[in-house]
Amino acid sequence: MKTLMLGNEAVARGLFEAGCSFVSSYPGTPSTEITECVAAYKEVYAEWAPNEKVAMEAAFGASLAGKRSFCAMKHVGLNVAADPLFTIAYTGVNAGMVIGVADDAGMHSSQNEQDSRHYARASKIPMLEPSDSAEALHFTKLAYELSEQFDTPVFIKMCTRVSHSQSIVELGERIEVSKTYEKNPQKYIMMPGNAKRRHPVVEERTRLLQQWAETADINRVEEGSDHSIGIITSSTSYQYVKEVCGDTYPVMKLGMIWPLPVQKILDFAKTVETLVIVEELDSFIENHCRQLGLTCVGKEKFPCIDEFSQNLIGEKLGKCVQSGTKLNAAIPQRPPVMCAGCPHRGLFYTLAKNKVTALGDIGCYTLGAVPPLAALDTTICMGASISGLHGFTKAGGADGKKTVAVIGDSTFMHSGMTGLVNMAYNESGGTVIIVDNSITGMTGHQQNPTTGYNLKGDPCTKVDLETLCRAVGIRRVRVVDPYDLAQCDAAIKEETAADEPSVIISRRPCALLKYVKHNKPIIADADKCVGCKACMKIGCPAISIVDKKARIDNTLCTGCGVCAQLCKFDALAAAKEV
Amino acid sequence: MRTNNIMIVGVGGQGSLLASKLLGRMLLQKGYDIKVSEVHGMSQRGGSVVTYVRFGDKVYSPVIDKGEADFIVSFELLEAARWTEYLKPGGKIVVNTQKISPMPVITGAAEYPQGLVEQMNAAGLNVDAIDALTLAEQAGSAKAVNIVLMGRLSRCFDFTEEEWMDAIEKSVPAKFLELNKAAFRLGRNA
C-alpha cells in the first residue's frame, strides 16, 4: 500500500517493520514525531525518557537483552547522550540498535546549527542519511541489518526538511527478531583491559563498513549527459540538486555518510571535469574528498550557514534564478509569541517588573526573552539555567541579589536536578523557578516524569517536585499560581532576598492542554479605558489598542485575568458567569 | 506533468497542517508524486508559518522557492503580503482578509500596513480576496477558516466536489465532518 508519510513517521514505520520492540527517547524538534508515531504500534514498547543519555542507555540495555532497540533525539540531544555513545561504539550490540538524530539546519526550533555527522566519524559509528520518507523507511530497516551484521549501533541521521516533509512510502510487513543474552565480560565490560582489546575491533569494523560502502546500492551514481560537472551530495541537498539539474550532470548520491567510500569516489571523480560537493552545514564529504587528494568545489561556494534551497543551488551553479514581485510596503515581522493564557506570562511580567537577572533555559518559556517581557538574560542548553545561576551567584554577579534560574518541568527533569543538587551541596544563593505547566510544551505536548502520564497516555508514577527539591537539601520551597501577580511578586521578592538557595514552583497547566477549561473572554470597557497601555506590558496576543482603547480578541482570550490585574481603571473585567 | 507548487501561509495555530493534510490526501488519490513540507516546534507558537505542497510526475525538492509558487493560500492578510515574492509570474494568491496583529504591531513598535489587497492588485498580482472568517463562522466555527480557504482554492483545480468531500472525510474527525464540509462548500461557492 502506498501512503503519504512524514519522514519521521516513515522512520517509525521502518522501526515497526524491522521488528524493533523497544524505543526510548526525549522529545526534541525535529525528531519528536518518530517516537510519537512508533508508540501507536502496539507491538513496540515506547517511552519518554527524562533525557537523551538515559534514552540511549536504555536502548542499549534492550539491545543487550536481545530486542531490536531505538532511541531518537535532536542534534543537541546527541551531545547529552555522547557519553554512552562513544563506549557503545566499542561494545557493539546484541540485537540491532539504531540511534535517530535530527539536525536543524536553519535553526527553525534550535539554539545552534551543529552538524551531527561529525559524531559518526568521532564515535566510529556508521551513519545512514535518508533524503525522503521512502528512504527513511528503507534505511531504518537496513540500519538494523547493518547493526547486527557489523555488531555496531547505527545512526539514522535526519534533518528538518526530511523529518517534516511528507512524501510517498510503500508499506511492508513486520518481522519479529529476538536474540538471547549471553554474559560476555570481554565485550560488555569496558574496563581498560577489555576496552584496549575492543578498540582494534572497532577499527577493523570501520574498515569492513567502508568496503561495504564501496558497493552498497544506497551510494549510487545517477548518470548525466554533461560531464563538465559531477556532484556528490546526500540528504535533502540531493533533492535540491536534482530539482535544479535534473539529469544534466552526473550525481553521486550518498546514502551512507560514514564511513564514506574511497574507490567509488575516486572513480566518479575521474569521469567528471569539476567535482562539486553539495552538502548543508559543514564540509564533511568535502574534507573526505580533499583527504583523498581530490580537487573539488565545496564550501568556498556553498555556505556552511543555514539550509539550502533550489534557488541557492541554481544560483551557485550559474543558472538564472527567477523571483516574484516584492511589495513596497514595510511588512512587520511575526515572531513566535507566548500563547494567550500562557501561565508563564504572569511570572515573566513579575520578573521584569522586579528587574531580576534571570538565567533561562530551553522550552516555550524561552519566549520570555522576547519584548515586551524581555525578562531573560541567557539561554544556552537544557539545565544551564540552574548550573549557570550557581556560578553567577558564587562569582557575585548582580551583587549576589535578585538572580534566578527559570526552567520548565520537563527540562528540570532532563538536566536541572543535578544543578540543583550542586546549589544545595555547594551552598550558593539564588532562586530556581520551576515553571511547571504539567507538560513538555514547545515540542507539542509530550508527557514527562512530573505529569503522571506516560507516552501511551496511561497513568503512571509522578515525580513530586516539592519533595524532590527538599530531598536534595533546599529548605525554602514554595508554590505559586502564575495567574496571581501579587502572589508571584511576593514570592520573588522574598525568595531572592533570602540568604540560602530557594525554589519557587510556578504551577499551572499549559493553556493549550485539552483538559484545561478556559474562562470567558475578558470584557474591555471602552468608557473606563484611558488608553494607558498598562495591559500591553504583558505582550498578550489577545490584547491590542484600537482607537486608543484596549480591545480583546475573543477568539484568543482565555480569560486568565492577568491583564485585568494590571488595569487601575477597572476597564478589563472578567465576564460574569451565566 | 510539470511540478505544481502550492504554498499555505498563515499564523501558527491557524490550522495549516490540516489544510495541507487534506490537499495531500486529495493529490494522493489522484496518483501524483507529492511532497508536503511543514513547520513544527517553536515557529508554531503564533509565528509566521509556511507549508509547501508540491505535486507532479516526480517531485524532488520538498520546498518552494522565490518565484515558483503557482498558488499561495494565505490564512491572514499580512502573511499574504509577506510571501508575494514566492509567487510565480501569473500565479494566484487566495487571501483571507482577516487581520491578526503580530507582536511588533501589538506593542506599537510597528504598524499594520494599510491597503494590502489594493497594493497587491496594483503590483499586478492575481488576488482572490475573501472574508474566510465570516464564512467559517457561518459554517459554525471560526476555526474552520482553513477549510473555507481550501474550498476557495479548490476552484482552481479540476477535481470534483465529491472527490474533495471524500478527502475531507478521510482527514477530519467524524464529529467535525459536517462543519468542515459546510465550510468547504462556503469557500468554494462564495
The CATH number assigned to the domain holding A198 equals 3.40.50.970
The ipTM is 0.95
C-alpha cell at position A411 = 527540562
Give the chain B residue nearest A342 (alpha carbons).
Answer: B45
Contacts of A333 in chain B (CB under 8 A): 48, 102, 104, 110
Q: What is the pLDDT of residues B43-96, one digit of tens each?
A: 567 889 999 999 999 999 999 999 999 999 999 999 999 999 999 999 999 999
Give the pLDDT of residue A575: 83
| Span A148-202, pLDDT tens digits | 999 999 999 999 999 999 999 999 999 999 999 999 999 999 999 999 999 999 9
Give percent above pLDDT 90 in chain A: 94
Assess whether A199 and A310 both reside in one domain: no
Asked, for residue A578, whether it belongs to a domain, the answer is no
Of B39, B45, B109, the CB nearest to A364: B45
> What value does the mean pLDDT take over residues A488-498?
96
pLDDT digits (tens, 9 = 90+) for A440-468: 998 989 999 999 999 999 999 999 999 99
Instruction: Give me the CATH number covering residue A557.
Output: 3.30.70.20
Query: In the predicted model, what is the mean pLDDT of residues A280-293?
Result: 98
Residue A516 covered by a domain: no
Question: A297 and chain B: CB distance < 8 Å anywhere?
Answer: no
Mark yes or no for CB contact B61/A240 under 8 Å.
yes
**What would the pLDDT profile of A315-361 be if each residue is shown by its tens digit?**
999 999 989 999 999 999 998 889 999 999 999 999 999 999 999 99
* Domain limits for position A238: 219-316
pLDDT band at B108 (very low <50, low <70, confident <90, very high): confident
Same domain for A18 and A61? yes
Instruction: Kindly list the domain boundaries of chain B, sorted by start residue.
Output: 4-189
pLDDT at res. B40: 73
Indicate the pTM of the whole model: 0.97
Same domain, A249 and A300: yes
Question: Has residue A207 got a pLDDT over 70?
Answer: yes
Q: Strand A22-25 relative to strand A229-234: parallel, antiparallel, unpaired?
A: unpaired
Residue B42: pLDDT band with limits 50, 70, 90: low
Best of A111, A170, A325 to substitute, by most chain B Cβ atoms within 10 angstroms, is A325
Quote the pLDDT of residue A163: 98
- Do A38 and A143 belong together in one domain? yes
A272: CATH: 3.40.50.920
Do residues A11 and A68 share a domain?
Answer: yes
DSSP structure class, residue A55? H
Query: Within this chain, do residues A265 and A153 fall inside the same structural domain, yes or no?
Result: no
CB A557 within 8 A of CB A542: yes
Q: How much is the pLDDT for B12?
A: 87
- What is the structure's pLDDT at B44? 61
Continuous segment of H or E residues that includes residue B94: strand B87-96
Is A215 a residue whose pLDDT tops 60? yes
Q: Are residues A67 and A127 in the same domain?
A: yes
Last residue of a domain, one of A215, A231, A264: A215
Mean pLDDT of all residues in chain A?
96
Residue A203 in domain? yes
Same domain for A380 and A240: no
Co-location of A312 and A387 in the same domain: no
Q: Is B47 on the interface with A (CB under 8 A)?
A: yes
Is residue A86, in this structure, part of any structural domain at all? yes
Instruction: Check if A371 contacts B (Cβ < 8 Å).
Output: yes
Query: Is A36 in a helix, a strand, or coil?
Result: helix
Lowest mean pLDDT among A292-306, A465-479, B1-15: B1-15
**Structural contact between residues A103 and A129, judged by C-beta atoms closer than 8 angstroms:** no
Q: Where are the alpha helices (DSSP H) in A232-370?
A: 235-245, 263-270, 284-291, 310-316, 344-353
Grid cell at residue A198 = 575492543
Do residues A51 and A194 both lie within one domain? Answer: yes
Strand ranges (E), A306-445: 357-359, 403-408, 431-436
Domain end among A163, A196, A215:
A215
d(CA A71, CA A64) in angstroms, rounded, equals 14
Considering CB atoms only, which of A6, A165, A336 is closest to B46? A336
Structural domains of chain A, count? 4
Decide if domain B4-189 falls under CATH 3.40.920.10. Answer: yes
Q: pLDDT tier at A400 (50, 70, 90 boundaries)?
A: low
- Angle of helix A417-425 relative to helix A384-394, nearest 10 degrees, comes to 20
> What Rg do the C-alpha atoms of chain A give, in angstroms?
27
Q: Write down the pLDDT at residue A397.
A: 87
Taking CB atoms and an 8 Å cutoff, what residues of chain A touch B74?
none
Q: Is residue A55 located within the same domain as residue A203?
A: yes
Beta pairing partners, A103: A159
Whether residue A255 is predicted with pLDDT greater than 90 in this model: the reply is yes
Are residues A227 and A359 located together in one domain of the fold? no
